[in-house]
Amino acid sequence: MSLPSFDVIRPRTQHAAVDELARYGAEVQMVAGGTDLIPSMKQGLFAPRVLLDLKPLRELDFIRFDPEQGLSIGALTRISTIAGSRVIAEQFPVLHEAAKTIASPLLRNMGTLGGNLCLDTRCLYYNQSHFWRDALGYCIKKDGSVCHVAPGGHFCWAVFSGDTAPALLALGATVRLASPRGPRQVPLEEFYANDGIVHIAKARDEIVTGIRVPASNAGWSGVYKRLRIRQSIDYPLAGVAAVMQKDEAGVCREVRVALTAVNPAPRLVDAAILKGKAYDAGLVEQVAYEAIRTGKPLRTSASTPEYRRQMIRVFVRRALRELWLNGRAEELGVTAH
């Protein structure tokens, strides 16, 4: 499985990278850790003429937290750095948990935040060798016209499988981008589109430079639940990120729940009914139900859509119960199931 031919350019500054990106236009593709792109290139999914290596952009490798300014992470920060960051573990536990579940230690040492946010959507009919896809007759996402997951439709259901995105969605993060037109910020939920082919709302000449989480959302308790068959290496088959802020009486003040790996984009689940309430298993169940209305898994991954939906429900229920009760389930007389 040889890689197609290409040139590699390695700009040393963000400024230079933006220039190069604009210069090569449609011929260029960005690479950082390579954990997503390189295997896909071996499979013939991409064949850019030029690869723009972002790794030399040390200026985008940082984690900054300031109680006033909030959290700022550079796009070139590696997943292992995020997983190992003390301030993130303390102030943004949902992101810490999500980061440490990603793939394997080797892949976390290579993959970056920017790469994880911009992860290509995945599908069993798409992430296959050229031989395999050719034998099938290709699919709507690449070189073909049919979706094998939902034949007859004209929609691509490939799933977004990033783990940091749901955590950051739950944290209300914004994405920072740079282009020849200057920097801009967009709320993370607007960065994604629910379309397996064009799932990122980013212009071709834009570079993701980092994310920002508002200071107001620091210190929220959070959990990340992830469905997988193998406890390492695998992409998630479903993921639920949830954060909550409570008052001393245990009344929910803020809550956000997000899903990954069940739609072409990470999605927020409407959990507003919990606000201002004390723990209520019925309300949790309603949010869990809302989650399975939001998550629309199809046969894009191992395991069945039915099972993945069911697990979303279980994970949302468990996540909210954990956050709300702080493990005080027993003293409140709440049974485990």
Partner 1 sequence: MSLDPALVPNSRNGSNSSLVGARIPMVDSVDKVTGAGKYTDDLTLPGTLVGKILHSPHAHARILSIDASAAERLPGVHAVVTGRETPVRYGILPVGHDETIFATGKVRYIGDNVAGVAAESESVAEQALRLIKVVYEVLPAYFDPEKSMQAETNLIHDDKPQNIEKEYHHHFGNVEAGFAEADYIRDDRFECAEVTHAALEPHSTLAKFDPDGSVTVWSSTQVPYYLMRTLAATLKLSEEKVRVIKPLVGGGFGGKSEVIPLELAAAVLARKAGTPVKITYTREEVFYAHRGRPRQIVELKTGVKRDGKITAVEARIVQDGGAYCSYGVVTILYSGQLLNAMYDIPNVKFDGYRVLTNKPACGAMRGHGTVNSRFAFETQLNMIAEVLGIDPAEIRRRNLLRPPCVTVNGLRVLSYGYPECLEKVVERSGWKRKYGKLPYGKGIGLAGSHYVSGAANAIVRAEMPHTTVDISIDRSGMVTIYTGAAEIGQGSDTMQVQVVAAELGIGLDRVKIVAADTARTPVDLGSYSSRVTFMAGNAAIAAAREAKKQILAAAARKLDTTPENLALEGERITCRDPAWRDLSLSFAETAALAVGSDEALRASGSYSPPASAQGGKYKGAGVGPSPAYSYSAQTAEVTVDPETGEVKVDRVIAAHDCGKAINPLAVEGQVQGSVWMGLGQAVQEEMVWQGGRLMNPGLLEYRSASTLESPPIETIIVESNDPEGPFGAKEAGEGSLAATIPAVVQAIHDAVGVWITSLPVTPEKVLRALEEKRRREELSY
Partner 2 sequence: MNQETIQLHINGKKFQIETEPNRLLLDVLRQDLGLTGTKRGCDDSSCGACTVLIDGEPQMSCLMLAVCYQDCEITTIEGVATLRGKDNELDPLQQGFVVEGGAQCGYCTPGMILTAKHLLAQNPDPTEDEINQALSGNLCRCTGYTQILASVRRAIELLRDPAWRDQEAQSR
Q: Which is nearer to partner 1, 50 or 314 (CB)?
A: 314
Among 6, 62, 289, 307, binds partner 2 (CB under 8 A): 6
CA angle at 280 for the pair 334 and 323, rounded to the nearest 5°: 75
Among 3, 136, 198, 278, binds partner 2 (CB under 8 A): 3
Distance (Å, whole) CA 104 – CA 184: 32
Pair of tokens at residue 204: 């071709």
Which residues make up the interface to partner 1 (CB under 8 A)?
Answer: 1-2, 5, 104, 124, 128-129, 131-132, 134-136, 229-234, 302-304, 306-307, 310-311, 314, 318, 336-337
Choose from partner 1, partner 2, none: what does 198 bind? Cβ within 5-8 Å by kind. none
Among 19, 53, 195, 254, binds partner 2 (CB under 8 A): 53
Q: Which is nearer to partner 2, 62 or 289 (CB)?
A: 62
Q: Which is nearer to partner 1, 100 or 277 (CB)?
A: 100
Distance (Å, whole) CA 34 – CA 263: 23
Other CB atoms closer than 10 Å to residue 130's CB: what's the count? Answer: 15
Q: Please say whether the dihedral angle defined by the alpha carbons of residues 291, 239, 154 and 148, taken in this order, is positive or negative.
A: negative
> Which residue, chain included where needed, has tokens 């949902």?
94
| Residue whose C-alpha is closest to residue 99's, from 171, 156, 12 | 171
Q: Which is nearer to partner 2, 125 or 279 (CB)?
A: 125
- Under rule CB under 8 A, residue 7 binds partner 2: yes
Give the interface segment with partner 2, choosing from 13-21, 69-77, 101-109, 311-319 (CB under 8 A): 101-109
Q: Which is nearer to partner 1, 198 or 233 (CB)?
A: 233
Residues 6+ apart with CB under 8 A from 219: 91, 245
Distance (Å, whole) CA 222 – CA 95: 8
| Residue whose C-alpha is closest to residue 8's, from 29, 34, 38, 36 | 29
C-alpha separations of 54 from 64, 83, 301 in Å: 20, 21, 30
Give the interface segment with partner 2, choosing from 87-95, 105-113, 283-291, 328-336 (CB under 8 A): 105-113
Per-residue contact flags (x/-) with partner 2 for residues 214 to 243, judged by CB under 8 A: -----------------xxx----------
Q: Which is nearer to partner 2, 232 or 326 (CB)?
A: 232
Is the Cβ–Cβ distance between 219 and 211 less than 8 Å? no
Min dist. Cβ of residue 84 to partner 2 (A): 10
- Under rule CB under 8 A, residue 5 binds partner 2: yes
Pair of tokens at residue 210: 């980092």
Strand partners, 252: 246
Q: Contact positions toward partner 2, by CB under 8 A?
A: 1-8, 10, 31, 33-35, 38-39, 42, 51, 53, 55-56, 80, 103-107, 109-110, 129, 231-233
